[in-house]
Structure 1
Amino acid sequence: MSSRHPYRRMIVALLAALVVGGLAATPAAAEPGGDTGDEGASANPTLGSVLEDSTRAWSEAKEKFDASVKRQGELTAQLQATEAQLATVQEQVAAIAVAAYRTGPLTTFAALMDAGTPDSFAERADTINQIAHHNDNLLHELKGLKESQAAQKKALEDEVAAQQQQVQTMEQKKKDAETALKLAGGPSKGFVTANLPSADPVPRTSSGGLPKESCSVKDPTTTGCITPRMLHAMQEAQKDGFKRFVACFRPSGPYEHPKGRACDFSVQTKSGFGGVASGDDFVYGSTLAAYFVKNANQLGVMYVIWFKEIWTPAVGWHHYSGVAGDPSSDHTNHVHLSIL
């Protein structure tokens, strides 16, 4: 048989090469849970770690700063009320002092001795006793108000010091993030779109912070899991009209996908991720990225990547390039969202 078809093996090999080559030349759309290319084998896990640590620390410092500013406002209102009350009591005490100076103890004694009857003497003595009791209470109130005023002033000074400390922490964490991003590129104008909807806020702790969450809920885009906060962000975006293809959990990689804290939002209308976005797809991606930035505090956003740009709460938009230089690595075919 081989003598009748001397080129059979060569033809089969050539056809196989053409088929494989043809498949390789056609970009495959990533399926849910598949690798979109934004975390390739040569990705820098240190960048992701620094961004997570600095952004989380910056966000926590910002929450403490905001809580301190709120507390400062409450203390200021309390101090103003105390000082207004103190001024009134001080006027009353001053009036008592003037009256006591004018009348003196002899006048009080004379008023008692001038009583014509025992009943009148008792009534005058009771009146004098009530006045003395009232004056004594007023002096105690004055003392208490002064102590409250001093304590409230000290509390205000402590809040200002706490705010300064949080500002210093925020500045340091901002520098950490900027240093990590220098390798990717410098600051940029990023993506801003007006009149975007506001997302419903995620649950927070009593102090205003974001509780730690595990990969505990079913990922609707894969067979994996995501955090409740990540699910909330995805559902809010979809509720507000961003309903194109999404892929979240991946079992491997150095960043947030394996932790259930990241999703890739494709900008094309069909399933998958495709090539570099243009036209309506580019507008869709830019609007979605701006939506996540606008609602960063409500959703607990750690960072957003879109079209060679990355945004973090601490430093804003910066240039960003993927390691492989393809549409997925450069995030020119999808918006990446990572959640704290």
Structure 2
Amino acid sequence: MSIGRRAHRPLIVLLAAVALLLGVGAVPAYAEPNEGGSKKLRDALEATAKAHIEAKRELDGSKKRQKRMATELAELESRLGELTALVGEVAAQSYRVGRLTPAAALLDSGTPEAFVQRAANLDMMAQRDGRRVRELADAREEARAAKLAINAEVREQTKQLAVMAKKKKEAEAALAAVSSGSSGGFSGGNSATARPAPRNSDGSLPSESCSVNDPTTSGCITPRTLHALQQTQAAGYKRHVSCFRSGGSGEHPKGRACDFSAATNGFEDRTATGGDKAYGDSLAAWHVRNADRLGVLYVIWFRQIWHPGVGWRAYSGSGSPAADHTNHVHLSML
């Protein structure tokens, strides 16, 4: 070894020691190279999440339409009952006294004035009774159409439930690579509900690119990710966050993910305990409660992963706090 190299060794050791004392040597939250598992797993999770969310949107829309139609049908049936009674009165009267023909009514008039009045009354009665009969027929047709429409919505709901069940199985099969089964999830955080992310006119989430500045780094994120970040912070979760990351894989390079540190001073290479663990539990639970409003793809925290199609599942990383997500909450967006 040369004299120059021997002279540099103490300096290198000193720098390493200083770095360790300052925390530079601590493993950051993004140390895990395969955030959320392999690319195949992430693609499967994204595909099943989108299909699940779309099916749920269709299901919810169908339920709303069915509820509205049921209300309209109840009103129609009430009107149908009234009209049936009115037409029944006309029929009963005709049965009791016999049908009053126009000729008989007019011939029974004693004066010209009475003749004109009876003619006007006959015309009015004919119009009234004819209108009632027509209204009754129309109401019956509307009720029939409403019942058919409700039946169609029920079939649509059955279809969407089948899609959701299928996508759940597909998501569970994909998660088998990193999950050992269902888990209990987390609770806590009574913060206000998040404001919904912008959607298309049909209620679907728009396609977005990494197009807005990331306030946590010098990179970019999608508008929906920024919205989720802002809503999370507005709900009171204001500890250190890091979103965009150019290296590695997953949603971070796409601007569709953020890591929320559990510790108050930023990412630490240790498993969260005490208040830090409670903070992470509350944050993960809040993200899940607001997942539909925000457009969440999945959440990872403390060896568990949440997906909209399957709920909370056990999650296994490579053992480090960063890989097992025991020092930060990971949020991926659609």
User: What's the TM-score once normalised by structure 1's chain length?
Assistant: 0.89
Q: Does 1:299 align with 2:294?
A: yes
- 265-274 or 78-87: which moved more? 265-274
**Corresponding position of 1:3:** none
1:28 Cα deviation (Å)? 3.1
Alignment of 1:29-44 (within 5 A): 29=26, 36-40=30-34, 43-44=37-38
1:160 Cα deviation (Å)? 0.4
- 191-200 or 133-142: which moved more? 191-200
1:208 Cα deviation (Å)? 3.0
Q: Does 1:59 align with 2:56?
A: no
Q: Does 1:282 align with 2:250?
A: no
Gaps of 5+ in 1: 1-5
**Corresponding position of 1:249:** 244
**Corresponding position of 2:76:** 82
**Corresponding position of 1:166:** 160
How many residues align structurally?
331
1:12 Cα deviation (Å)? 4.0
Contact 2:70/2:150, CA 8 A, preserved across alignment: yes
Spell out, residue by residue over 1:15-43, the C-alpha distance to the aligned partner (whole angstroms, 9 max, x if none). 47746876897763578xxx712334995
SS of the aligned residue for 2:162 comes to helix
**Corresponding position of 2:259:** 264
1:173 Cα deviation (Å)? 0.9
Percent sequence identity over aligned pairs: 44
Contact 1:266/1:335, CA 8 A, preserved across alignment: yes
**Corresponding position of 2:333:** 339
Task: Output the CA distance in 1 between the equivalents of 2:66 and 2:104.
Answer: 54
RMSD, aligned CA = 2.5
Alignment of 1:1-340 (within 5 A): 8=3, 11-12=6-7, 15=10, 18=13, 28-29=25-26, 36-40=30-34, 43-105=37-99, 108-185=102-179, 186-193=181-188, 195-322=190-317, 324-340=318-334
Supply the AA of the counterpart residue of 1:148: E
Supply the AA of the counterpart residue of 1:277: A
CA 164–121 in structure 1, closer or farther in 2 if over 3 Å, else same: same
Contact 1:27/1:274, CA 8 A, preserved across alignment: no
User: What's the TM-score once normalised by structure 2's chain length?
Assistant: 0.90
Task: Output the CA distance in 1 between the equivalents of 2:323 and 2:158.
Answer: 39
Spell out, residue by residue over 1:129-171, the C-alpha distance to the aligned partner (whole angstroms, 9 max, x if none). 2111111111111111111011100100010001001100111
